[in-house]
Amino acid sequence: MHNRGAVIADVRATEHARGSPVEVFLAFLKLGLTSFGGPIAHLGYFRAEFVERRRWLDDKRYSDLVALCQFLPGPTSSQVGIALGLGRAGWPGSLAAWCGFTLPSAIALIVFAFGVSRWTGLASSGAVHGLKVVAVAVVAQAVSGMAKTLCPDRLRGGLALLATLLVLATPGALGQIAAIVLGGVIGVVGVRSSDLPPPQHLGCELGTHVAATLLVLFVALLVGLASADVASRHTFQVRPEPSPTQPFYRH
């Protein structure tokens, strides 16, 4: 009864914390124009902006959301951003979050690609090398900040260290999948349900039928894109080169 009451109170608090798509767009646009580094660094920026500063959600909700998106293929930061927009302002909020955060980066990459093709020395210039060095520091700072929340005890800290060693020792998708499975098994065996905090509502109010439809669509795209990619290579007998569908399975 206590957990059920906590969940109901949490749902009501979430309903009162609703915002507008414009608010979501402006918040994510600021990050989209100023956030450097990869998805891990972006997660650190999200936590600082939406957990600490704006208080759209707390650390527990944010950690659960990050864990869910890390489990899914694709860019984690984009998935977390869309989910944050969905929880804040519904479906229009999810689109506003994508337009504010992901779209500016995509436009910048396209412009940069045209620049590299036109000025061949740009990619190896000192400016680009400097951005790479700064990105390392940004990612390190983000990982350090999130470690305090995601790894508060020895068990989870040791699990994170073990997962890091496993991924480094086994590069590629196999090591990542093995780390996820290992984390799940150790969590089931080593963490008692009584030690976990009560469940909290993430604010993404989707009906059962909508959620099931999206899950089926996700699996169909996941399997269908990979199958289409393999079939096209076999049919046209092309050598294995990066294809437009391959980035979907990375990050």
pLDDT in tens, 18-70: 789 999 999 999 999 888 777 888 888 898 899 989 999 988 888 889 888 88
Assess if residue 31 is contained within a domain.
yes
Is residue 106 in a domain? yes
Q: Do 146 and 56 belong to one domain?
A: yes
- 220 domain residue, yes or no: yes
| Pair (139, 216) in one structural domain | no
Q: Supply the pTM of this predicted model.
A: 0.72
Distance CA 208, CA 125 (A): 52
Looking at 132, 151, 170, the residue that finishes a domain is 151
Give me the amino acid identity at 251. Answer: H
φ/ψ bin of 25: left (φ > 0), alpha (ψ from -120 to 50), beta (otherwise): alpha
Residue 171 covered by a domain: no
Same domain, 98 and 222: no
Clarify whether residues 50 and 147 are in a common domain: yes
Answer yes or no: do 23 and 146 share one domain. yes
Pick the range with the lowest mean pLDDT from 68-72, 81-85, 160-164: 68-72
Instruction: Tell me, letter by letter, the H, E, C secondary structure of 87-131.
Output: HHHHHHHHHHHHHHHHHHHHHHHHHHHHHHHHCCCCCCCHHHHHH
pLDDT for res 24: 96
Q: Of 80, 86, 69, whose CA–CA distance to 24 is shortest? A: 86
Asked if residue 133 and residue 12 are part of one domain, the reply reads: yes
pLDDT band at 251 (very low <50, low <70, confident <90, very high): very low
Position 199 pLDDT exceeds 70? no
Is residue 16 a part of any domain in this protein? yes
Contact (CB, 8 A) for 100 and 32? yes
**Could you tell me if 43 and 117 lie in one domain?**
yes
57: helix, strand or coil: coil
Domain end, chosen from 151, 173, 191, is at: 151
Do 17 and 115 belong to one domain?
yes
Domain extent, residue 217, equals 206-251
- Domain-embedded: residue 165: no
- Over residues 96-145, the pLDDT tens digits come to 999 999 999 889 888 888 877 777 776 677 777 787 777 777 777 777 77
Percent of the chain with pLDDT over 70: 80
Give yes or no: residues 55 and 128 share one domain.
Answer: yes
Determine the length of the chain: 251
Domain assignment present for 189: no
From 135-139, 171-175, 214-218, the region with the lowest mean pLDDT: 135-139
Give the chain's domain count: 2
Max Cα-Cα span within the chain: 66
Do 147 and 24 share a structural domain? yes
Residues ≥6 apart with Cβ < 8 Å to 33: 104
Q: What is the mean pLDDT of the chain?
A: 79
In a domain, 219, yes or no: yes
Chosen domain end from 85, 119, 151: 151
Clarify whether residues 118 and 33 are in a common domain.
yes
The CA-atom distances, in angstroms, between 3 and each of 8, 127, 140, 191, 199 are 9, 53, 36, 18, 7
